Amino acid sequence: MIVWEDVEVSYDGRSVLGPVTVGVADGEWLALIGPNGAGKTTLIKTAVGVVAFGGKVSFGGRQMRMGLDVAWMPQRPHLPEEMGVADYVMLGRTPHLGFLAAETKHDVETVYLALEKLDLLEFARRPLGTLSGGEAQRAVLARALAQEAPVLLLDEPTASLDIGHAVEVLDVVDQLRREEGLTVVTAAHDLTLAGRYADRLLLLSGGRVVADGGPGDVLTESHLKAHYGAGIRVIDDHDGPIVVPMRYKGT
Amino acid sequence: MGVGVVSVLAAAAFSSTVGAAGLDPGSVARALIDALPGVSLDSGLSVVQTSILFEIRLPRVVLGAIVGAVLALAGASYQGVFRNALADPYLLGVAAGSGLGATVAIGVSGEPALLAPFAFVGGMAAVGITYALGRSVGGRSATSLILAGVAVSAFATAIQTYLIQRNSDTLREVYAWILGRLVTVGWRDVLQLLPYAVIASAVMFGSRRLLDVLSIGDDEAGALGVDVGRVRAVVVIAATLATAAAVSVSGLIGFVGIIVPHTVRLLFGWSYRVIVPLSILFGSSFLMLADVAARSLVAPAELPIGVLTAFFGAPFFLLVLRTMRGPT
């Protein structure tokens, strides 16, 4: 179980997040939603130690071990153009290697297993710079997977993908979660997709948690209107809520 | 890797046999084999010639090999930790600091023997100030460190220029040092430099995989459990120590630290696991060959080696760049 406890972040004395307290159970999928600047990305970043924060993030009741407990897929990952896909995925093994340690057979196997799961075997030797948006996204996910961390933190994993590829990537994540018992935390802009895949949604606004619960409880017109602004309709479908934008008509 | 080793051996053999004393290559080879323990062979060289070979020429060849290796290695290290293709071994102010130290040693004290130690101290002091300034302005950001290096370099160069203007009689000697030279006094310079070169090589060799991890950025490397600040500090300190030691004996030899790692990268790929060892090997052979040219092109006079590394290195580099980046 990963737990954020009274986590607060401020830049130049201006509070941008929290205090937020939230726990995610093992095997659960939590989607962080909320308008731009709500603090979704910041909350994720506190768990990987790339922003300074107050409060505590723990895993399994103890202090977080960097690289071993959580694997992070940033919103805009840095992809060195010339690096091959397999080499890039191998970087995910870093937390398991000592300062001088060479990669073992197990590391190589883990990398190829991750490539296989994300359908990237044929791209293993291709430079990252030659991949399409969807392929690159899968490569980043493969690297996160190769870390063999029990928690995946995915910051807008489908941001640059068309709807077909978005569903494909989320299906893979969901399948991995079931097979490996992974805990998944995603920051999401597409509310309908978030509702389809996540067990639980956390609506952030202005750095605070304003709603927390199942898709049906959080994706309501009143919540979304209050925090995203007017012009949103929620249609109930038997698979979960469908969120659609309404167009303002000029008067 | 084999290519690199062969190039070092070939360059070493070639540069041991070329020089003002006109030693016969066959005799040099026999003398070298004769010097191996347990082997006895008549080289046909006179006592004077043997002593020229072992006390003047060989130390110079070895010094060239070490300085070249250090500069190329330091260049590769800086390019890795700062993720900046333009980073060179002199990036953080080593060159300007050493230059100031050398100027003070010659211009103010008038004692040439103080040049090397003063240059070393000057270089390390400049990098120390750069590091302190960079940290105070921008924490652990690489950009603030590079900018601090630019400021410290400009400042040290200003003082150096002022001192040279005030003591114009020393200008020539300082100038000769600035252009780089591999004139040695036997094995002493080699022994002075060797420990730094060994330490830097060991540190870089140990960090080569981490440099690959750094190529995905500080944040992502940090999330993979890498202590980015510590890696950067260790690598920079090792590379800087070795550079300052090299500069203090050989002066400012430009371009090696940029050209060699980039050529290796263009020919053999992006990974520092390849770039680090091959930069050491090709840096060595490149500088040994440049030194052959330095002492034979206008023999019996010598050209400053820094002029040659730039003169031959830059066009070669452009050629490699064109070939690799051209339409494929």
pLDDT 10s digits, A42-54? 999 999 988 989 9
Residue B172: partners with Cβ closer than 8 Å, 6 or more residues away: none
In terms of phi and psi (left: phi > 0; alpha: psi -120 to 50; beta: otherwise), the region of A206 is: left
Contacts of B209 in chain A (CB under 8 A): 94, 97
Q: Please name which of B145, B88, B90 lies closest in space to residue B262, comparing C-alpha atoms.
A: B88
* pLDDT at residue number B328: 41
Q: How sure is the predictor about B185, in pLDDT bands with cuts at 50, 70 and 90?
A: low
Residues of chain A whose beta carbon is less than 8 angstroms from a beta carbon of chain B are: 45, 48-50, 65-68, 70, 72, 74, 77-80, 82-83, 87-88, 91-92, 94-95, 97, 99-100, 147
First to last CA, chain A: 51
Out of B222, B224, B271, name the one closest to residue A87 (CB).
B271
A32 pLDDT higher than 60: yes
**Binary contact (B225, A94; C-beta < 8 A):** yes
Inter-residue contact A150 to A173 (CB < 8 Å): no
Q: What angle do CA A18, A23, A29 make, to 5 degrees?
A: 110
Place of tokens 């979304």: A224
**Binary contact (B219, A74; C-beta < 8 A):** yes
Residue B78 domain boundaries: 2-325
Out of A74, A83, A95, name the one closest to residue B225 (CB).
A95
Q: How sure is the predictor about B91, in pLDDT bands with cuts at 50, 70 and 90?
A: confident
Strands A29-33 and A208-213 turn out to be unpaired
* pLDDT at residue number B20: 61
| Residue B28's CATH number | 1.10.3470.10
Place of tokens 């070329």: B18
What does the block give as tokens for A229? Answer: 């602004």
Inter-residue contact A55 to A245 (CB < 8 Å): no
d(CA B267, CA B158): 39
Inter-residue contact A214 to A208 (CB < 8 Å): no
Maximum Cα–Cα distance for chain B, whole Å? 65
Q: What are phi and psi of B4, to 5 degrees?
A: -65, -45
Residue of A nearest to B217 (CA): A78
Assembly ipTM: 0.89
Inter-residue contact A115 to A86 (CB < 8 Å): yes
* pLDDT at residue number B29: 77
Inter-residue contact A211 to A217 (CB < 8 Å): yes
Size of interface A-B (CB pairs under 8 A): 61
The mean pLDDT value for A102-122 works out to 90
Q: What's the full length of chain B, in residues?
A: 328
Of all residues in chain A, what percent carry a pLDDT higher than 90? 53
Answer whether 0.80 is exceeded by the pTM: yes
The mean pLDDT value for A14-32 works out to 91
B22 pLDDT higher than 70: no
Q: How close, in Å, is residue B252 to chain A by CA atoms?
A: 32
**Binary contact (B223, A50; C-beta < 8 A):** yes
**Binary contact (B270, A99; C-beta < 8 A):** no
**Binary contact (B220, A92; C-beta < 8 A):** no
**How many other C-beta atoms lie within 10 A of the C-beta of residue B59?**
19
Place of tokens 């940090």: B222
Q: Please name which of B1, B2, B79, B7 lies closest in space to residue B284, comparing C-alpha atoms.
A: B7
**Binary contact (A78, B209; C-beta < 8 A):** no
B309 pLDDT higher than 90: no
**Binary contact (A80, B270; C-beta < 8 A):** yes
d(CA B51, CA B9): 22
Residue of A nearest to B271 (CA): A83
Q: How sure is the predictor about B19, in pLDDT bands with cuts at 50, 70 and 90?
A: low
User: Looking at domain A1-69+149-214, which CATH architecture does it have?
Assistant: 3-Layer(aba) Sandwich (3.40)
Q: How close, in Å, is residue B206 to chain A by CA atoms?
A: 6
d(CA B297, CA B253): 18
Interface test with B, best of A57, A76, A94 (most B CBs within 10 A): A94
Question: In this predicted model, which residue has the larger pLDDT, B220 or A133?
Answer: B220
Q: Please name which of B178, B200, B308 lies closest in space to residue B255, comparing C-alpha atoms.
A: B308
Q: How sure is the predictor about B247, in pLDDT bands with cuts at 50, 70 and 90?
A: confident
**Binary contact (B212, A91; C-beta < 8 A):** yes
| Positive or negative: CA dihedral B201, B202, B205, B206 | negative
From A57-71, A72-86, B310-324, the region with the lowest mean pLDDT: B310-324
Burial class (CB in 10 A: 0-12, 13-18, 19+), B57: buried
Residue B107: partners with Cβ closer than 8 Å, 6 or more residues away: B163, B164, B166, B167, B170, B174
Query: Per the structure, how many domains does chain B have?
Result: 1
Comma-separated ranges of CATH 3.40.50.300 domains in chain A: 1-69+149-214
* Paired strand residues for A184: A29, A152
What does the block give as tokens for B273? Answer: 């696991």
H or E segment and range at residue B252: none
Q: What is the pLDDT of residues B256-274, one digit of tens each?
A: 888 899 889 888 888 998 9
First to last CA, chain B: 25
Question: In this predicted model, which residue has the larger pLDDT, B302 or A110?
Answer: A110
**How many other C-beta atoms lie within 10 A of the C-beta of residue B98?**
35
The helix-helix angle for B25-35 and B2-17 (nearest 10°) equals: 110
CA distance to B20, B195, B252, per residue, from B307 (Å): 20, 27, 10
Contacts of A74 in chain B (CB under 8 A): 219-220
Residue of B nearest to A50 (CA): B219
Q: Please name which of A203, A204, A144, A137 lies closest in space to residue A170, comparing C-alpha atoms.
A: A137
d(CA A202, CA A180): 24
Q: Please name which of B250, B306, B289 lies closest in space to residue B7, comparing C-alpha atoms.
A: B289
Inter-residue contact B170 to B164 (CB < 8 Å): yes
Out of A50, A68, A94, name the one closest to residue B219 (CB).
A50
Contacts of A65 in chain B (CB under 8 A): 225
